[in-house]
Chain A
Amino acid sequence: MGRTDTLNGAVILMVILIVILFLFLLSIPFIISFNPKLSLIFSSAIYLLLSVFLLFSLLFGYAKLPLSLPFSIQLSELFGLRSSTSDHITYLTTIPYLKFSYLFDSLSLFFGFLIAFLGFISSLYSFNYLYEEHYKNKSLFVILFNGFIISMLFVVFSANGLSFLIFWEIMSILSFFLVLFEYEKEESKKAANLYIIMTHIGTFFIFLLFLYMFMKTGSFSFETWKHLGISGGLSVAGMTIIFILTLLGFGMKAGIFPLHVWLPKAHPEAPSSVSALMSGIMIKTAIYMMIRFYFEFMKSYGWGFGFTILLIGALTLIYGVLNAGIQDNIKRLLAYSSMENIGIMLMALGLAMIFYSQDMYLLCAFAMMALLFHIMNHALFKGLLFLGSGAIASQTHTKNMNKLGGLVKKMPAASFIFLIGVLSASTLPPFNGFVSEWMIYQSLLMASSVNIEIIKVFTPIFASVMALAGGLAALAFVKAYGISFLGRARSQGANSAKEPPFLMLVSMGILAFLCFLLGIFSFIGLMPINKVVKEITDISIYKNITISYGSIVTLPKYSLGVVSPLGLLAAGVIFMAAVYLFIKIFGNMKIRIFETFACGLENKDVYNFSDAQISKDVCNAGTSNNHEGNNDNTNNDNINAYTKINNAQYSSTGFSQPLRRIFEKIYNIKENLINEEYKRKYFFPVKNYIFKAGDLFECFYNSFASKFLEKISKLRAYIQGGVVQTYIAYIVGTLIILLIWVSWFYHAG
């Protein structure tokens, strides 16, 4: 970027922003000490301003953003921006190698914009959500939440390995605390533990990676690393090491295929506005770093790396979507769907890398654009879906879809907004998910022009995998929407649900509107992305994409297909109108208004399980063995036990049963049908059906870890016997060995 005309209006705006941000950071403790609401409104305003500013600086190339930090700032440096010609800002510290330097190129500005925007939405949402969920320590939430967003911003703006690691760790730890926010729940504790362990293993690999880069370049600065890529100072072995370490380190955060175990556990446990942020943008900071590594720090690698990423992406995609299909916890379903989307992003990334390695920059730019657009779209619709699930959970007090149902009548606005999110996520036109995924399909098909046999053979297979995944994702989301919003209430909580408060609806509505807008007029979203792509690949692809009639997206040179979301919308509207008119004119349609059909129950409330209760009381004679009751109390959504008698209506578990049977091998499912009664064996027997869907890989890791830990602990118990004399003997033994060694060396030398 390298501009020198920094003292313009933008700088003044920027300085004002900094001042506001500082005041905000300093005033947090005072504000929240009496009012979390005020603080959240304040912070959402800040994030809105920040996101607008970041978007504008991305689009129109405003000056750098000195997000000045409380780390050894030199004021002269802060205001001496005119002298620095690059888009780096560096603050030195007294610790060697530790520099807090920040980079404001278009890639980081793009991610920063997404973070700030989603931060704005979720703090707006939290304004009501905190009170709806009746959290006890609201002030703590505000502190952690703002800290989390700010640390993510610093992660993407960091331009130095060490400062990056510091903010990365702050981000991980704050998100750990947010996952642990409802710390009384056993599930939260388990999920948070798993999350912190796995994320630290990931950080360990990132550490190794940065140390390797340091060994190669003698510096932690990203600028120097970029020079390493340009100068081609890396051997093939070196690049392979970097590639594997990035995959392990950042893949852990992104939740790629075998390392995903924490993701479906941690996301459902966090408060919904936080899981929207975690799923919407936090896991993508890993993709951000992958882009940095594969397109800036590494150059001229073979196609194998890209192909590996493509393969891992396909595995992540199919595994995520298959698991999403069988979940009963709505937030866990969304978390697995996030994993699926990470798979799609990785496929786009892999394609971009393949094209990049073959010097096909136009195609690379197209795949890159698809990737970034999908990141943006996923942030929007997954944010929307998580916020929507939060609205459901806060109104019905359960996340288990087997206890939802009939919400479309209780919360019509929220269910409409959620429907838009669902349609986006299952990649249907005219919503944004469709456009970006269509672009990725295009890139996959365009890969046939690469002159490598394996890629020519495999990319159609990947395309079909993606198509399969698209179908399965539609299944999962039909289930998510149909079971929780349609039909009749399956529990008391769902029956007494109300429309969520205004600001929750507004924040979700903004996202839904953007999903629609970017679906119809996708060029709006592609405009800022074009800047990013141009900086990475030196090709401005925006002009190469034919955008006639406002919305058609394609590459004319490799034209395989043309699509117009606007045209699709128009076609859809015309078709629907035609069908409606046809029925209206020719059909014999009498409108009958009747109670919702719930698979043949009597005309009484389904959630009213007095029958079961009575039979239970008779059978068990007072022993409280009611699994459903237990479920409600502990809110344990993982294990799904309920009496069979109440579930004449199609349940979530029932809906996914075919999927479970077909893909039995890749699930880790425990099913049990238990006879509950003791006396009445033949008349109206009460049975409990227990169903538990776990992750296959979690099971695998657990068994491995338990075997390993068993051996270690046996050894430890043997060495550490608990007798004081033994410990002294260890010390003396060491001393004597050292003495002998020293004297021997002394005499020898």
Chain B
Amino acid sequence: MLNIASFIELMGAFVLFFAILQTASHRVDFSIKVYSIQSLFLSITIFVMGIHSNNGELYLSSFLTFAIKVVAIPFFLNKVTRRISIREKIIPYINMTNSVLITGAITIFAFFITKGDFASHEFIARRVFPTALAVILIGVFIMIARKKAIIQIIGFLTLDNGIILAATSITKGLPLVVDIGVFFDVFIGAIMAGVLIYRIRTSFDSLDTSKMSNLKE
């Protein structure tokens, strides 16, 4: 039986799934697509939560997620990648297979540490919060395990998706002002990171952040 809570959990699980898929991605444009789809599922999750809790603000939040994370940021990132014409593959510190295994471990860890009655009252979907935590940790993992600056941005954006998911799952939606602030923040952050990448590319001829250690003294 598919009641609305388990539907939300399913959508959350999709968010997690695309986060894991992100670690297995070999190409930058594929990563951006994965991010876009993940954001779409996030948007759906928030929308359904809005239906469930009958909270008008969540609809707006969902719409903003869609507009910024599904459309604007991927569009912008694609533009940046096209301009700096990244053809090389994603260079990982940790290879794809091991990455996927580690994300599995991270997910288990996330479920493990949230197994108690953290915020027991008014939980919309019990298993969304550990899922969100797993997404956050996977986002950070992507930032650690990849060398390319653009993939690190995507890792950061994944992390942000995880935070939004966690926040909505626990609190039935942040206050609208905070929500809009966070979206705006992420959007500006992504744009700035894109510009920064362009600059890094022009001055280093590469996006490999491991080469930036030359900057150190």
Interface residues of A (CB under 8 A from B): 720-725, 728-729, 731-732, 735-736, 739-740, 742-743, 746-747
Contacts and interface: CB of A to CB of B under 8 A. Distances in A.
B93 interface: yes
A735 B143 CA distance: 15
B158 to A, nearest CB: 13
Nearest to B136: A735
B143 A725 contact: yes
A463 B19 CA distance: 84
Given A743-B114, A746-B116, A725 B216 contact: no
A725 B144 contact: yes
B132 to A, nearest CB: 13
Nearest to A741: B113
A731 B143 CA distance: 12
Contacts of B210: 723, 725
Contacts of B212: 722-724
Contacts of A742: 113
A722 B118 CA distance: 38
A638 B210 CA distance: 47
| Among all A-B residue pairs, the 7 with the closest Cβ atoms | A722-B216, A722-B213, A743-B113, A725-B144, A732-B140, A724-B209, A729-B144
Contact of B137 (A720, A722, A732): A732
Contacts of B186: none
A728 B114 CA distance: 23
Nearest to A727: B144
Interface string B90-120: 0001000000000000000100111010100
Interface residues of B, number: 21
Given A739-B113, A746-B116, A725 B215 contact: no
A740 B113 contact: yes
Instruction: Tell me the interface secondary structure of chain A in the complex.
Output: helix
A732 B147 CA distance: 17
Nearest to A746: B116
Contacts of A739: 113
B145 interface: yes
Interface string B126-151: 00000000000100110111010000
A728 B143 contact: yes
Interface of B: 93, 109, 112-114, 116, 118, 137, 140-141, 143-145, 147, 152, 209-210, 212-213, 215-216
Contacts of A724: 152, 209, 212
A743 B209 CA distance: 34
Contacts of B141: 732
Contacts of A729: 144
A720 B215 CA distance: 12
A732 B143 CA distance: 10
A739 B118 CA distance: 12
28 contacts: A720-B216, A721-B213, A723-B209, A723-B210, A723-B212, A723-B213, A724-B152, A724-B209, A725-B93, A725-B143, A725-B144, A725-B147, A725-B210, A728-B140, A728-B143, A728-B144, A729-B144, A731-B140, A732-B141, A735-B140, A736-B109, A739-B113, A742-B113, A743-B112, A743-B113, A743-B114, A743-B116, A746-B118
Contacts of B147: 725
Contacts of B114: 743
A723 B216 CA distance: 9
A265 to B, nearest CB: 29
A720 B217 CA distance: 11
Contacts of B213: 721-723
Nearest to A725: B144
Given A725-B147, A728-B143, 11 more contacts: A723-B209, A725-B144, A725-B145, A725-B209, A728-B144, A729-B144, A731-B140, A732-B144, A739-B113, A743-B116, A746-B118
> Which of A735, A739, A740 gathers most chain B CB within 10 Å?
A739
Contacts of B93: 725
Nearest to B212: A724
